[in-house]
């Protein structure tokens, strides 16, 4: 099963899909996939076992879960390796990519996909460390979503698509989020003045024969 056919859903309920159809993965399996995907680095099996299970047989439970995932995701879950690493395509990545070119007619559907509670279903699983990680990732994902909402809102406003922009503003207000103002460009600065370049060019030409000193003066704005 190629990884490109899979999507890990973290915007809202946490689950795995293939070609838009849910893949039957347990809650602990979804938590493991989310942890590895969002962290984007390898971890020792012992660390993952202690994170997901608070019991003396945590490693055995991890092996059982990995066997289940290996059956569903052949070639993606290696056997007998002390370190585990897996990064799946996520709906967060897909949603963020759409933000830069979202069509006004698609804003409502885009908002419904991106403004749920991230990593829902993982808040009561595993160890306190896992629950703290879920809280931290929810904050990080929320920051990403707020940034994309602000960018899309500003772009639609500039394009005169005020109805679509108002949808974004209303959803942000409903969630208690503040849209960040788009940066404004400062005034154009010019460092040229009447005939200022002529003496400078003359000094540069003279410098070909011998060293020259140019003294510049002026008033600040």
Collect all residues with Cβ–Cβ distance below 8 Å to 41 and sequence separation of at least 6. Answer: 85
Query: Exposed, middle or buried: residue 119 (CB in 10 Å: 0-12, 13-18, 19+)?
Result: buried
Beta bridge partners of 21: 18
Beginning with the edge strand found earlier in the chain, give each strand of the sheet holding 6-9 in spatial order: 6-9, 15-18, 21-23
* pTM of the predicted structure, to 2 decimals: 0.76
Q: What pLDDT score does 204 carry?
A: 56
pLDDT value of position 1: 47
Q: Are 65 and 51 in contact (CB under 8 A)?
A: no
For residues 137 and 194, the answer to whether their CB atoms sit within 8 Å is no
Q: State the Cα–Cα distance between residues 135 and 16, nearest whole angstrom.
A: 20
- Please enumerate in sequence order all residues whose Cβ is within 8 A of that of 125, keeping only pairs 6 or more positions apart, or say none: 27, 28, 31, 52, 131
Specify the CATH number of the domain 3-84.
1.10.10.10
pLDDT tens for the chain, 221 residues long, are 455 689 999 999 999 999 889 999 999 999 999 999 999 999 999 999 999 998 889 999 999 999 999 888 877 777 777 899 988 999 999 999 998 888 999 999 999 888 889 999 999 998 999 999 999 999 999 999 999 999 999 999 999 999 999 999 999 998 888 887 755 444 444 444 445 455 555 655 665 555 656 565 555 44
- Give the three-class secondary structure for 21: strand
SS (H, E, C) 78-131: CCCCCEECCCCCEHHHHHHHHHCCCCHHHHHHHHHHHCCCCCECCCCCCCHHHH
Q: Hey, what are 177's tokens?
A: 């989020």
Alpha-carbon distance of 99 to 220, in angstroms, equals 42
């Amino acid at each position: 099963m190629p990884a490109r056919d899979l999507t890990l859903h973290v915007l809202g309920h946490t689950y795995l899909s293939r070609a838009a159809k849910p893949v039957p993965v347990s809650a602990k399996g979804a938590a493991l996939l989310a942890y590895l995907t969002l962290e984007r680095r390898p971890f020792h099996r012992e660390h993952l076992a202690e994170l997901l299970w608070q019991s003396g047989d945590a490693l055995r439970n991890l092996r059982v879960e990995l066997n289940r995932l290996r059956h569903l995701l052949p070639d993606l879950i290696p056997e007998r390796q002390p370190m585990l690493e897996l990064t799946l395509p996520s709906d967060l990545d897909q949603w963020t990519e759409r933000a830069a070119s979202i069509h006004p007619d698609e804003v409502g559907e885009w908002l419904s996909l991106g403004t749920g509670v991230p990593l829902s279903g993982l808040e009561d699983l595993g160890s306190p460390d896992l629950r703290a990680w879920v809280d931290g990732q929810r904050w990080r994902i929320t920051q990403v979503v707020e940034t994309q909402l602000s960018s899309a809102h500003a772009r639609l406003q500039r394009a005169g698509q005020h109805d679509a922009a108002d949808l974004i503003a209303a959803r942000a207000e409903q969630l208690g989020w503040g849209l960040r103002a788009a940066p404004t460009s400062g005034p154009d600065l010019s460092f040229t003045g009447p005939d200022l370049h002529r003496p400078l060019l003359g000094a540069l030409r003279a410098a070909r024969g011998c060293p020259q000193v140019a003294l510049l003066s002026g008033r600040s704005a």
